[in-house]
Amino acid sequence: MRTVRTVAELRAALKQPRREERSIGLVPTMGFLHDGHLSLIRQARAEHDEVVVSLFVNPTQFNEASDLAAYPRDERRDAALAAEAGADLLFAPPVEEVYPTGFATEVRVGGPLTESLEGVQRGAGHFHGVTTVVTKLLNMVQPDTAYFGQKDAQQALVIRRLVRDLDLPVRIEVLPTVREPDGLALSSRNVRLQGEDRRRALALSRALQAAESDLAAGVRDAAELTAGLADVFSAFDVEPEYIALVDPETLAPVATVDQETLLAVAAKVGEVRLIDNTILNSNGNGRA
Ligand code: AMP
């Protein structure tokens, strides 16, 4: 695996594969790789001739300077893990390569997809930062497929909308959330959970599980389900930022879970902000 740092180097490295019509898969990441990222890289490896992993902690999608400053980084470790999972190229540009002096363009998805849930908590600007950098990465790499995780369900919807609206020539693949054995969704931020907070962080995945069993027991009313979930959060002494039962395509709130519904939760545990979600079916089967 080669590491490249400039768009020119990246394009040069992809010239030959492109000339030979080799297919290209892209996995965009902010690094500090874990098994969730590696599942995306392995899938890209299985489906494509060339696998590009980008490693870029995108400053424009952080709404809090302290979160950006505390974001964990370890490029050496990431390079070893990406190579082992099958990456051919690691694109790890410095900030000024992505946002050179004079940079003045933003790509925005408007409406409820960016203004609800995370868009309320972090501001829609978070998603504008994501769609701007993802558009740039797609233009830089021009992959056949780009891989994203269901862990960031709203982000995946926003990116699908972006690609449809701008006719970007790429297939978007969204893969299931990878979890710790106890249910905690893997996140680069989990390393920042201190002491007791690691256990308290289980509030999120346990709440999702509780919703699945409540649903299996016949509870369909969104308000009743939400109240049950709030109890799980308080049992873990965690204050949820939101517990949302919404349409999995539009993110419009649902009153009754009588078809596929996205259950999304967010909470700050200690200093660390965590999100998780599952798709609920009215037959009571969840799939995270
Ligand atoms: P990040 O580095 O956090 O920006 O994540 C890069 C990609 O990995 C995004 O598409 C995430 O949705 C995905 N991802 C993060 N955590 C997980 C996880 N636990 N399981 C599956 N995919 C994940």
Same domain, yes or no, for 134 and 228?
no
Same domain, yes or no, for 50 and 140?
yes
Cα 219 to ligand 1 centroid, rounded to whole Å: 31
Same domain, yes or no, for 206 and 241?
yes
Residue 67 lies in a domain: yes
Rounded CA separation 221/239 (Å): 22
Residue 182 lies in a domain: no
Residue 103 lies in a domain: yes
Same domain, yes or no, for 41 and 138?
yes
| Angle in degrees, 0-180, between the axes of helices 124-141 and 153-165, rounded to the nearest 10 | 60
Same domain, yes or no, for 168 and 200?
no
Residue 286 lies in a domain: no
pLDDT of residue 282: 76
Rg, Å, the chain Cα set: 19
CATH number at residue 171: 3.40.50.620
Same domain, yes or no, for 150 and 208?
no
Tell me what percent of the residues of the chain surpass a pLDDT of 70: 98
Mean pLDDT of 51-80: 97
pLDDT tops 70 at residue 286: no
Looking at 132, 152, 175, the residue that finishes a domain is: 175
Is 152 close to ligand 1, i.e. is its CB under 6 Å away?
yes
pLDDT tops 70 at residue 285: no
The 10s digit of each residue's pLDDT in 147-176 is: 999 999 999 999 999 999 999 999 999 999
Our count of domains for the chain comes to: 2
CATH number at residue 266: 3.30.1300.10
- Please name every residue paired with 31 in a beta bridge, in sequence order, or none if there are none: none
Is 30 close to ligand 1, i.e. is its CB under 6 Å away?
yes
Tell me what percent of the residues of the chain surpass a pLDDT of 90: 97
Same domain, yes or no, for 80 and 19?
yes
- Please report the atom of ligand 1 found closest to the CA of residue 37: 8
Same domain, yes or no, for 35 and 151?
yes
Identify the three-state secondary structure at position 225.
helix
Residue 257 lies in a domain: yes
Same domain, yes or no, for 73 and 213?
no
How does the average pLDDT of the chain come out, rounded?
Answer: 97
Residue 246 lies in a domain: yes
Residue 21 lies in a domain: yes
Same domain, yes or no, for 154 and 224?
no
- Please report the atom of ligand 1 found closest to the CA of residue 176: 21
What DSSP designation does 106 have? -
pLDDT of residue 153: 98
Same domain, yes or no, for 209 and 79?
no
Taking alpha carbons only, the member of 276, 231, 279, 222 closest to residue 254 is 222
Rounded CA separation 175/260 (Å): 17
Residues 6+ apart with CB under 8 A from 35: 178, 186
Mean pLDDT of 174-191: 98
Look at phi and psi of residue 270 and say left if phi exceeds 0, alpha if psi is from -120 to 50, else beta.
left
Residue 285 lies in a domain: no
Same domain, yes or no, for 226 and 124?
no
**Domain containing residue 16:** 2-175
Mean pLDDT of 76-91: 98
Residue 19's Cβ-side half-sphere holds a number of Cα atoms within 13 Å equal to 6
pLDDT tops 90 at residue 204: yes
Cα 127 to ligand 1 centroid, rounded to whole Å: 15
Rounded CA separation 36/172 (Å): 17
